[in-house]
Amino acid sequence: MKIKQFEDKGLSHYAYAILSEDTGEIVLVDPARDPQLYYDFAKENNATIVGVIETHPHADFVSSHLEIHQTTGATIYAHSTVGADYPYKAFDEGEVLQVGDIKLKSLHTPGHSPDGISILLEHEGKDKAVFTGDTLFIGDVGRPDLRESAGNITAKREELAREMYHSTRDKLMKLNDDVLVYPAHGAGTLCGKALSEANSSTIGAEKNGNYALQKMSEEEFVKLITEEQPFIPKYFGYDVALNKKGAPAYKPSIKGVKKLDKNYTPEKGSIIVDTRPQEVFKKGHLEGAINIQEGGKFETWLGSIVGPDEQFYLIAADEQQLDTVISKAAKIGYEALIKGAFVMDSAAEVRSPEIDLQDFKQHQDKYTIVDIRNKSEVKDQKLFENAINIPLPELRERADEIPADKPVVVHCAGGYRSAAGSSIVESALPEAKVFDLSEAINDFK
């Protein structure tokens, strides 16, 4: 038996291949949008993909389960309450999938979602591992507030929190302490609030160290996991629906993105996502462009700033970067929203002013300061007493709340988000001078 973990650092996502070396058969758990890694793994091991298990319809990434089924003939397994539109075999509580001498048993573990399952792996007559999807993370549990208006079954966060209490206490915590825990996400995901950097754990270690698994009443648990959850990106509900339906094949969908001539000029009023480095963007960009820089969390911020009901143009510094950002957009199903993509290598008409740092340090009262960090970050550490807090995911909708009678300074925690934030404010307040504090924010901590 072999278990292979595949990590997507950008989305903090883990997918798994479970290989029966006896029969040369593979079952995948929660595969990412691009299935090529799993085909390569199968080829390397002279094996066949026979099954794909979806622990629930994911909110934060698009799965390739339907494409893998169409390409390989593998059976898709999901809980019956998903109400899936793709062909699948119900994998409800107690159902067992036998692959060689490996038994995969379904545990219905609602809490993050009403239709969530965990997969208990038994080998040689002993429980060895459990694939917990978004129910149990390392150091945390899945957030219960993503299915209030998405999916086949919707549920209030308090109701799901109660279900999470019983899923963890009545099922997962009753497994042997040495059972390995393999979650669908690691630190950095927005599907939980306090995940560890580790990529696997054990039931025993989680019972000892996971704050959500400590002894407490159901009421205490509900209060604990419903408070101070991270923001919900705009794209989450869209991805739940897309995963319930089954996404189109990855490569053909990417090839369908329209590539435009270099330095193309979009029509006035278009949504333009410019992924070039901020120092290049600030020297000259198109009017109204949003500077979401290509980087580690590009797809999360793209799906947090731009809604799934909007179309946009995508700009990159060169062809290679353009291909990268198109493929990253596809990881959240946003390739379908790209109106056109092009390379920009000439300075455009709009330049962003550079802040006089000394003047700002000495005369902060001359500026309107906008803090675009999340509310929880501001609660933990307020950096400027009179700053207006508008979190970045809300900024496009709320930029008109910012007074334009003074120069505006936008800041975040380290500089990446403020590049996007200042570009949004610059577009919304053309009459004001808008500055990006960028990495200089570290001088004020």
Rounded to 5°, the CA angle 41-44-45 comes to: 90
What is the pLDDT, as a whole number, of residue 144?
Answer: 87
| pLDDT above 50: residue 399 | yes
Contacts of 92 (CB under 8 A, 6+ apart): 79, 80, 106, 108, 117
Residue 248 has pLDDT above 50, yes or no: yes
* pLDDT value of residue 191: 47
Q: Tell me: the pLDDT tens digits for 320-335?
A: 999 999 999 999 999 9
Interatomic CA distance for residues 193 and 375, integer angstroms: 13
Indicate the pTM of the whole model: 0.92
One-letter amino acid identity for 370?
Answer: V
pLDDT above 90 as % of the chain: 85
Residue 243 tokens read as 């995963």
pLDDT at 219: 96
| CA atoms of 325 and 417, how far apart (whole Å) | 17
Return the domain boundaries, the chain.
2-238, 248-343, 357-444
In tens, the pLDDT along 190-229 reads 545 445 455 889 999 999 999 999 999 999 999 999 887 7
For 305, the 3-state DSSP assignment is helix
Lookup result for tokens 């731009």: 306
Question: For the domain bounded by 2-238, which CATH number is listed?
Answer: 3.60.15.10
Q: At what angle do helices 298-305 and 416-428 cross, to 10 degrees?
A: 30
Checking if the pLDDT of 159 tops 50, the result is yes
Tens-digit pLDDT profile for residues 74-112? 999 999 999 999 999 999 999 999 999 999 999 999 999
**339 exposed, middle or buried (CB, 10 Å; 0-12, 13-18, 19+)?**
middle
The reported pLDDT for the residue numbered 193 is 43
Q: What is the C-alpha separation between 122 and 86, in angstroms, rounded?
A: 28
Q: Which of 178-192, 216-230, 387-401 has the highest mean pLDDT?
A: 387-401
Confidence of residue 147 (pLDDT cuts 50, 70, 90): low
Q: What one-character-per-residue DSSP string does 193-243 give?
A: SS--S-S-EEHHHHHHH-GGGSS--HHHHHHHHHSSPPP--TTHHHHHHHH
Strand-pair partners of 7: 14
Tens digits of residue pLDDT in 346-378? 877 899 999 999 999 999 999 999 999 998 889
pLDDT for residue 155:
67
What is the overall mean pLDDT for the chain?
Answer: 93
Of 3.40.50.2300, 3.40.50.300, 3.40.47.10, 3.40.250.10, the CATH number of 357-444 is 3.40.250.10
HSE value, Cβ hemisphere, 13 Å, CA-based, for 105: 18
The whole-angstrom separation of Cα 311 and Cα 434 is: 26
Q: What pLDDT was estimated at residue 359?
A: 95
Q: What percent of the chain has pLDDT over 70?
A: 95
Say if 248-343 and 357-444 have the same CATH topology: yes
Structure tokens belonging to residue 41: 């793994």
Q: Residue 373: CB partners within 8 Å, gap ≥ 6?
A: 389, 391, 392, 412, 413, 417
At residue 65, does pLDDT exceed 50?
A: yes
The CATH homologous superfamily for domain 248-343 is Rhodanese-like domain (3.40.250.10)
pLDDT of residue 227: 84
Between residues 176 and 230, which one has the greater pLDDT?
Answer: 176
CA distance 281 to 419: 9
